[in-house]
Structure 1
Amino acid sequence: MLRVHGPEIYDDWIYHRIPFNAPEVVEVFDLLGELLLTEGNVLGGTSTILNTPFSEAPLPLFEDPARAMFVRQGNFVTGFLPEDILANMDEELGVFAMPTWEGGFEGQPILGGGDLAALFTLNDDAVALMKFMTAPEFGAEWAQAGGWLSPHKTFDVSHYADETTRRVAEIASNAEVFRYDGSDVMPNAVGGGTFWTGMIDWLNGSKTAQEVCDEIEAGWPQ
């Protein structure tokens, strides 16, 4: 949705300013279907998509011989890679941004997630801690540990433990647009409920894209 229709339509979709069964949404389902459901595009086909935990999805890349060439995932997935791969990550794998969509949004959009820090007690110590954790300089030790990116473009990338993570940070910093994962932003009844189950029904062929989108729209919390 972000690559095909750009950030404005994407925002309208995730915040329900357009219905979930709008033509733009159904169109993207169909385009995604051409990628995921075409034979030979995904290792193991639909069954693998539905039954593989995200933490195990990268593993076929590192078998000998490799059974897959690409996996789409956030930078935190490095925490689930084999130890021998982590020990030599820059030599074992490469990273790149998902390509832009021909005829879609012209800039490079990046989709991601994030962590929240919430303040429940207002006092000087708590405020000082929040300022410390949100400062551009914060996170050198976290960066060394891996699986974490600073939200600040001014963060010193030399703190990251490997070139792979530095490349991910560069991709994120240079993106034209950053947006949070739509299912994370939507009400939980949708993002963690009807959207989730609808994707399963669509992938296993029991429902069409239009039927899934209609049902999600009908169940959107009032």
Structure 2
Amino acid sequence: NTYTYVYKQNRDNVVNFTAKPEQGYRVKSWSGTDKDPSWNTNINMLTVDGSEYVHIEFEPDITRNLLVPSQYSTIEDAIVTADQHGTNIIVGRGVHTVSDPNGIDFQGKNITLMSIDPDDPDVIANTIIDCQGSRFNSRRAFWFHSGEDHNTKVMGFTIRNGFMTGAVGINGGIPGYYLDPNDDTTPFVQASGTDATGTAYGGAILCENASSPTITNCVITDCNVVGAIGGLGISGTFRDATSS
């Protein structure tokens, strides 16, 4: 059902609203308030600045459970399928990898990503998100950049091997070699790697654009962030000094 109410207020007044969902329903979204969309939040406010229109939409209070890997092979696949709100993605024990180098993207959804028991240390230790990052393969676990709030939750994981870097210098290109003492030709000089400067953020998790998810009972290990990495030199050729 749709209901419309009209109220009169002075400009610059702050009006407080309280939604009262019927049994079995919750707030899906607010629009026209100071704090849109405020999913599953019954209290909101509006600063009056002329004629204002506030819309509240309700939805059934039902939580979906999506299972990884029994229903969805990857966490990313489950997130794509998840509703905008009210979905639990439950991840089984094992090692789970990340396909997007920037990290798993929640796409602004207010959902919960959790292990089968986020309060059990053994489950946490054995439900692993392995970023598989390295010097030449920047990867992190999670990237929150769409304004996710406290209703977006990550619970009960071990996150490992995240590695994010800015610029990487070019490696040296001319290999060294041993010299012939009877050869008067000027030898090549072993090439050095080039320097690099840059910035990088979030070795394991990056939150930006005012995103502020809830991270609970997670262990982050062997994750690094490096502003820049200089290029490698080239090793010289080994020769036994006793040989003729």
TM-score after normalising by structure 1: 0.26
Choose between structure 1 and 2: higher helix proportion. Answer: 1
The structure whose RCO (Cα within 8 Å, separation 6+) is larger is: 1
TM-score after normalising by structure 2: 0.25
Select the structure of larger CA radius of gyration.
2
